[in-house]
Chains A and B, each alone.
Chain A
Amino acid sequence: DVKVTQSSRYLVKRTGEKVFLECVQDMDHENMFWYRQDPGLGLRLIYFSYDVKMKEKGDIPEGYSVSREKKERFSLILESASTNQTSMYLCASSASGGLLVLFFGSGTQLSVL
């Protein structure tokens, strides 16, 4: 069974902290994505990666960075967490070529106090 695993279901952090959200997939997928989901705003793309060491900005990259040192792992970094980054964060992966069908993790609900 295909799996995308996010390291934490719930996280509570303080304003100004550096936050790491980890995502691992076991499907040997080339593509990985980070979205955030907020009520009334839907899913918004933060960053994505089509290969190891490669990253591309999505629609809302400000305040975030990513790291992809290995094919199966894609990390989202909040350099200095702020309250407006309180959200549900969803990691996804997909195979390369053809149709972009996403497999999502269960999400990390991050609260920044």
Chain B
Amino acid sequence: SQKIEQNSEALNIQEGKTATLTCNYTNYSPAYLQWYRQDPGRGPVFLLLIRENEKEKRKERLKVTFDTTLKQSLFHITASQPADSATYLCALLNQGGKLIFGQGTELSVKP
């Protein structure tokens, strides 16, 4: 069955640096992949979607890449700020047409 792996270890970085989060998946390549942000005690919020024929997508300080050969997506936050501290989830559509999520990676940006 389709699996998604995100680094379960928290990522701690200094304000102003670029944060890079990784999402790896197994089995078939999805038509698109999504990234969500989740703050403690809240539901996830959609950030970006990247299609299989797109190598890169940008939105303000966010950049997502999608490598179907490596079966991997990278999520970058440039010029990170303490307000970017949250858990980031990647999600993809499995072959059954359901959206499945990774466990998420917690990002902590220190001033």
Give me the interface of A with B, judged by CB distance under 8 Å: 4, 33, 35, 40-43, 45, 48, 58-59, 90, 92, 99-107, 109
A42→B45 contact, CB < 8 A? no
**Docked CA distance A72–B104 (Å):** 29
**Docked CA distance A31–B19 (Å):** 33
Nearest CB in chain B to that of A103: its residue: B46
Q: A43-B89, A101-B49 are in contact. Are A107 and B43 (CB under 8 A)?
A: yes
- 30 examples of A-B residue contacts, CB within 8 angstroms: A33-B99, A35-B101, A40-B8, A40-B103, A42-B101, A42-B102, A42-B103, A43-B44, A43-B100, A43-B101, A45-B98, A45-B99, A48-B98, A58-B98, A59-B98, A90-B43, A90-B44, A100-B93, A100-B99, A101-B34, A102-B46, A102-B99, A104-B43, A104-B44, A104-B45, A106-B41, A106-B42, A107-B41, A107-B42, A107-B43
Nearest CB in chain B to that of A48: its residue: B98
**Docked CA distance A42–B93 (Å):** 16
Q: Which residues of A contact B99 (CB under 8 A)?
A: 33, 45, 100, 102
